[in-house]
Structure 1
Amino acid sequence: MVDLVPQIGCVAAVLACYLVLTWRPRRAQHARGGEGTVTVWQLVAHVEAERQERERAGRHRLRGPTVSTPDGPWPPLELQRRVLDGLRRL
C-alpha cells in the first residue's frame, strides 16, 4: 500500500493540472428576445431623449419643437453678414 502513494500523488497532480487548465466557470448566456425585450440601441435612444428633456428648462419646455428653415434653425447668411457689418461699424 505504501508503494502506491507516489503513483496516487502523480495521478492526483496530473488530474489537478488538467482541471486547472480546462475548467471554466459558467458564464451568463443571453436568452432569445421575446415580447417586450429592448435592444441596446433602444436603450441608448431612451437615455438620450431623457437627457435632452432634462436640458430643456423653464418656458422652453412649454413650446413645441423649433421649426427649422431650409438653411437651418439660424438666420439666413445675408442677415448674419449685415449684422456683422453693423457691429464692425460701431
Structure 2
Amino acid sequence: MLDLMPQIGSVSAILACYLVLTWRPRRPQHAGGGEGALTVWQLVAHVEAERRQRESGGRHRLREPAESTSDCPGPPQELQQRVLDGLRRL
C-alpha cells in the first residue's frame, strides 16, 4: 500500500492542475428578450411621454387620448391569454 502513495500523489496533483486550469464557474448570459420585451428606446419614449403628460398639467389632460409609446402593436394575443390563464391559476 505504501508503494502506491507516490503514484496516487502524482495522479492527484495532475487532476488538481487539470481542474484548476479547465473549470470555470457558469456566469449568467443574456439570452435575448423574448416575446413582449421592450427595447431601451421604447422605455425612453415611455418615460418621455409620462414627463410630457405631467408637464402639461390641468384637467384637460384627463380627456386627451393616451399616446402610443411604441411602434409595435404589443404582445401577441396568444401570449396575453397564457399570462391571463396563469394569473387565474394563482
TM-score class, shorter: 0.3 to 0.5
Kindly name which structure, 1 or 2, has the bigger radius of gyration based on alpha carbons: 1
Task: Name which structure has the greater RCO, CA cutoff 8 Å, separation 6+.
Answer: 2
